[in-house]
A and B are shown apart, each in its own frame.
Chain A
């Protein structure tokens, strides 16, 4: 029955003269999301509203699921659209619409008709009354409630006539591409995909960096990160995933520096490399899945030390979340199952039994002096040899 959707959007409606930019971005994101769905669709912007119209047979559930992943949408209204063939035809369609949409008619309703095309024979008030009357005759169990109806039937007289009464909540946020671009440090864990999702939700386009340490991390661990990037891309749109070969640097730090400082120093170099890659691809920020106190490298003092190497802002959207809150969100966005696959953590071989939890920046910097001989070349090589995987 439903062949079209009215897309409702929130915050972007208030962006003044930039409004069209946001709307165009939203149209693009909707088109991208629907590419994976069976069926042909037209996505159009008419009179300050966005419509999705099916041009062929399509899978309704898949379409709604795809639209529910497009940031910027606050509501998805499945619509019946008809040509204007007079009031009797409209009345029959509305009755049929109720029959198909609702099984049990034991509820209250109100008709809310609007005439964008003023030459229609009946005005809004008349339409409300007449359509309400037709419905009450067809379904005697129905009751009218003009203040707090269970069902609000919208009838819009435009070039065509739109009939709808259901609004499926969208994810909210802003269309991706309207708020710049940031580099996500993507590990194989639970937190970083959630962090990427949250920043993408604010309209930020995302690229990602993964630190691969063969043979200490396996091909399967890398595949898992690619899989996670694909899951994030379902919300954020295409992602360029940078895979950095980090083994040489890791071993060098292991050889030269005190073992309880390994993780901090390692993370400082990860941030440095990620920032350089971010600069190269026009990003304006870094994103991590850090949460205060979750592990030794995420105490405030540790974060202070790792943050110090960056000049770009570092966004940590899950910083105040408990682990369970992050887990809940990862389940909601569908990354949890992939995140908990057991591959790796060969990388743990480099974790000291008792890593420092209150690192002192001066001490860390002094330790890093021992890396002076080769580290710049190694970092350069890691950046020059980065493998770029296009996720879309």
Chain B
């Protein structure tokens, strides 16, 4: 039996996504900038994808910028947004539990003369909106907060933070990293006071190397990639037509039978949390109720090295992550887990299990059985 429980690292590409990409590559392979029929046919994929996304976000099509993924979306808005608005001020605000693709651009800003305020989180990884209020200044130009934390599945009060930010000053760019939340929540930027929203394709059964950035009309961002002026000059370079077509299809699928899919994930998560809590010597981190993300669970296993448990599970066909996948090949301890005040001894004993609507109860049951068998064995061989 196999159980792929690493859907927050990446998901399996949906068949419909592969089909439309194949078509865009084999049949309609034109350059969307070409004036002939092949160009027009290719451009249609881009327009269709923008239309699907705009429909989901209830925004205008021209507010969608296609990128190479979550990392580029985050970099574009943080660096491009700060640079375009730096005459109004040099203060920026970000939470202390962000993904590296947000953390690093902010560090870059700090190195280049910007003043960065980091927002603390509570033991569940959640930001107190009051802290945002306290952090805002007259020279603040950008606030960035992730919606769902990639390591513990905490859901941040972005709507509340958005209204606080905009009440204070409408010109501040409020950016939300929605890479782990898009497809799991209905997100309406206008209603939630969100000025910019980053999304990745491969987290929602789309292709890797695709994503988009929603930028509210009139928000100024300086492009990072210069050249032939594609996408209204915001990101030069021939559009990744097959990728964009696949992304559009993935978005469409994610919001088809949406409530059922989310209910299914939530059900799977509850089964897992209930089962894992019953196993001796486990500790589920953060919230697991309706206020948490439906697809991520962080569990600590005191006395067991995360990497060893990960490989032991792998031997049994169960695939999970230690920390977030992007950082697991560096032997660093997770700053998110540190920020939520996890006991030092547990930092290296924590795994992330993440689900999708394809995850079955049988897979969960199998995983729980194997965990229950493995833990006592592994615990015996811990160095003391």
Interface residues of A (CB under 8 A from B): 214-216, 218-220, 251, 254-255, 259, 342-343, 346, 348-353
Task: Report whether A251 and B383 are in contact in the complex, using a CB–CB cutoff of 8 Å.
Answer: no
Return chain B residues, CB-CB under 8 Å to A216.
308, 311
A and B contact pairs by CB, cutoff 8 A, 14 listed: A214-B311, A214-B315, A215-B315, A216-B311, A220-B329, A255-B380, A259-B383, A342-B330, A343-B329, A349-B308, A349-B381, A350-B381, A350-B383, A351-B383
Return chain A residues, CB-CB under 8 Å to B384.
259
Say yes or no: A251-B315 contact (C-beta < 8 A), given A346-B307, A349-B305.
no
Task: Report whether A218 and B307 are in contact in the complex, using a CB–CB cutoff of 8 Å.
Answer: yes
Return chain B residues, CB-CB under 8 Å to A254.
381
CB contacts between A and B, total, < 8 Å: 41
Task: Report whether B308 and A215 are in contact in the complex, using a CB–CB cutoff of 8 Å.
Answer: yes
One digit per residue, 1 when the CB lies within 8 angstroms of any chain A CB and 0 when it does not, for chain B 297-315 equals 0000000010111111111
Within 8 A of A (CB), among B2-27: none
Complex CA gap A102/B383 in Å reads 64
Question: 19 more A-B contacts (CB under 8 A) besides A215-B315, A346-B307, A349-B305?
Answer: A214-B315, A215-B308, A215-B310, A216-B308, A216-B311, A218-B311, A219-B311, A220-B329, A251-B381, A254-B381, A259-B383, A342-B329, A342-B330, A342-B331, A346-B305, A349-B381, A349-B383, A350-B381, A350-B383
Complex CA gap A219/B313 in Å reads 13
Q: A215, A220, A351 — which one has the most chain B CB atoms within 10 A of its CB?
A: A215
Q: Does B382 have its Cβ within 8 Å of any Cβ on chain A?
A: yes
- What are the 8 closest A-B residue pairs judged by CB atoms, nearest first? A215-B311, A215-B312, A342-B331, A218-B311, A346-B308, A349-B383, A215-B308, A216-B308
Q: How far is the CB of B251 from chain A (nearest CB, A)?
A: 34
Chain A residue at minimum C-beta to C-beta distance from B314: A215
Return chain A residues, CB-CB under 8 Å to B331.
342
Complex CA gap A350/B381 in Å reads 8
Q: How far is the CB of B141 from chain A (nearest CB, A)?
A: 38
Complex CA gap A311/B195 in Å reads 74
Q: How far is the CB of A347 from chain B (nearest CB, A)?
A: 10
Complex CA gap A350/B380 in Å reads 11
Complex CA gap A343/B329 in Å reads 7
Complex CA gap A215/B309 in Å reads 7
Complex CA gap A352/B384 in Å reads 7
Return chain A residues, CB-CB under 8 Å to B314.
215, 219
Chain B residue at minimum C-beta to C-beta distance from A351: B383
Return chain A residues, CB-CB under 8 Å to B380.
255
Complex CA gap A220/B331 in Å reads 14
Task: Report whether B311 and A346 are in contact in the complex, using a CB–CB cutoff of 8 Å.
Answer: yes
Q: How far is the CB of B329 from chain A (nearest CB, A)?
A: 7
Complex CA gap A230/B2 in Å reads 32
Complex CA gap A220/B310 in Å reads 13
Chain B residue at minimum C-beta to C-beta distance from A221: B311
Q: How far is the CB of B89 from chain A (nearest CB, A)?
A: 40
Return chain B residues, CB-CB under 8 Å to A219.
311, 314
Chain A residue at minimum C-beta to C-beta distance from B329: A342
Interface residues of B (CB under 8 A from A): 305, 307-315, 329-331, 380-384
- Which among B312, B313, B330, B382 is the interface contact of A349 at CB below 8 angstroms? B382
Return chain B residues, CB-CB under 8 Å to A351.
383
Q: How far is the CB of B85 from chain A (nearest CB, A)?
A: 39
Complex CA gap A219/B314 in Å reads 10
- Which among B305, B307, B308, B383 is the interface contact of A352 at CB below 8 angstroms? B383
Return chain B residues, CB-CB under 8 Å to A215.
308-315
Q: How far is the CB of A392 from chain B (nearest CB, A)?
A: 28
Complex CA gap A352/B383 in Å reads 7
Return chain B residues, CB-CB under 8 Å to A259.
383-384
Chain A residue at minimum C-beta to C-beta distance from B330: A342
Q: How far is the CB of B342 from chain A (nearest CB, A)?
A: 21
Q: How far is the CB of A262 from chain B (nearest CB, A)?
A: 9
Complex CA gap A348/B330 in Å reads 17
Q: How far is the CB of A248 from chain B (nearest CB, A)?
A: 12
Say yes or no: A353-B383 contact (C-beta < 8 A), given A215-B315, A342-B330, A342-B331.
yes
Q: How far is the CB of B333 from chain A (nearest CB, A)?
A: 13
Complex CA gap A259/B313 in Å reads 26
Return chain B residues, CB-CB under 8 Å to A346.
305, 307-308, 311
Complex CA gap A249/B283 in Å reads 31
Complex CA gap A220/B314 in Å reads 13
Q: B311, B313, B380 — which one has the most chain A CB atoms within 10 A of its CB?
A: B311
Return chain A residues, CB-CB under 8 Å to B312.
215
Q: How far is the CB of B23 from chain A (nearest CB, A)?
A: 36
Q: How far is the CB of B315 from chain A (nearest CB, A)?
A: 6
Complex CA gap A259/B383 in Å reads 9
Return chain A residues, CB-CB under 8 Å to B305.
346, 349
Complex CA gap A273/B171 in Å reads 71
Complex CA gap A259/B331 in Å reads 25
Q: How far is the CB of B186 from chain A (nearest CB, A)?
A: 39
Return chain B residues, CB-CB under 8 Å to A255.
380
Q: How far is the CB of B302 from chain A (nearest CB, A)?
A: 15
Complex CA gap A353/B310 in Å reads 24
Chain B residue at minimum C-beta to C-beta distance from A250: B381
Chain B residue at minimum C-beta to C-beta distance from A262: B383
Complex CA gap A259/B308 in Å reads 19
Chain B residue at minimum C-beta to C-beta distance from A255: B380
Complex CA gap A342/B328 in Å reads 11
Return chain B residues, CB-CB under 8 Å to A251.
381
Complex CA gap A215/B314 in Å reads 8
Return chain A residues, CB-CB under 8 Å to B329.
220, 342-343
Q: How far is the CB of A216 from chain B (nearest CB, A)?
A: 6
Return chain B residues, CB-CB under 8 Å to A342.
329-331
Complex CA gap A215/B330 in Å reads 18
Complex CA gap A346/B311 in Å reads 10
Chain B residue at minimum C-beta to C-beta distance from A341: B329
Q: How far is the CB of A214 from chain B (nearest CB, A)?
A: 6
Complex CA gap A255/B380 in Å reads 9
Q: How far is the CB of B118 from chain A (nearest CB, A)?
A: 27
Q: How far is the CB of A265 from chain B (nearest CB, A)?
A: 15
Complex CA gap A255/B315 in Å reads 22
Q: How far is the CB of A245 from chain B (nearest CB, A)?
A: 11
Q: How far is the CB of B367 from chain A (nearest CB, A)?
A: 15
Return chain B residues, CB-CB under 8 Å to A348.
383
Q: How far is the CB of A260 from chain B (nearest CB, A)?
A: 11
Chain B residue at minimum C-beta to C-beta distance from A345: B331
Q: How far is the CB of B134 from chain A (nearest CB, A)?
A: 39
Complex CA gap A259/B305 in Å reads 18
Q: How far is the CB of B67 from chain A (nearest CB, A)?
A: 29
Return chain A residues, CB-CB under 8 Å to B382.
349
Complex CA gap A215/B315 in Å reads 7
Q: How far is the CB of A355 from chain B (nearest CB, A)?
A: 11
